[in-house]
Amino acid sequence: MKKLTRNVIIMAVVTVIMAVVLGLYIKSTGTVPAADNAASLTDGIYTSSAQGCLSDVTVTVTVTGGRVTGVEIDASGETPELGGTAAETLADQLTKAGSTSGVDAVAGATMTSDAVFTAMDDCLSQAQ
């Protein structure tokens, strides 16, 4: 019984250490790439569209100071519960990330998400 208790304590300590290391890693690497990668963009407002599940999805990207400062997504022709919700979620994530890198598709709205990513990448190509 003592051996089992000792093993449980050791596993708990190792788990806590791993959680702290992972937290520090995420904290130190999670926000730097977006600002650095977007620094070469030309200021302006860029728009592009791509085919979603039911309609064209339009993405408008605002670049200020060489960085993405705003992303607006018009997915009004998509299913409101899926594509509409995905558009809201993705607009915020893409603005924070400054690109599609590291942004995941929204579950249940894969086609809308893919259209948003395609249009966003096109907007960023226009801005380079």
Q: What is the model's pLDDT at position 37?
A: 44
- pLDDT tens profile 81-127: 888 888 889 999 999 998 888 898 888 888 999 999 999 999 999 99
Instruction: Name the burial class of residue 66, with classes exposed (0-12), middle (13-18) and buried (19+) by CB atoms within 10 angstroms of its CB.
Output: middle
- Is the distance from CB of 75 to CB of 82 less than 8 angstroms? no
Q: What is the model's pLDDT at position 1?
A: 61
> How far apart (Å, rounded) are the C-alpha atoms in residues 47 and 5?
61
Residue 57 predicted with pLDDT over 50: yes
> How far apart (Å, rounded) are the C-alpha atoms in residues 100 and 103?
5
Would you give the DSSP letter of residue 84? Answer: I
Residue 59 predicted with pLDDT over 90: yes
Higher-pLDDT residue of 109, 24: 109
Instruction: Enter the pTM of the model.
Output: 0.68
Q: Any idea where the domains of the chain sit in the sequence?
A: 2-30, 34-127
- Residue located via tokens 């990448």: 121
Q: What is the model's pLDDT at position 20?
A: 83
CATH number corresponding to 34-127? 3.90.1010.20
Q: What is the model's pLDDT at position 95?
A: 92
Which whole number is the average pLDDT over 41-56? 92
Confidence band, pLDDT 50/70/90 cuts, at residue 30? low
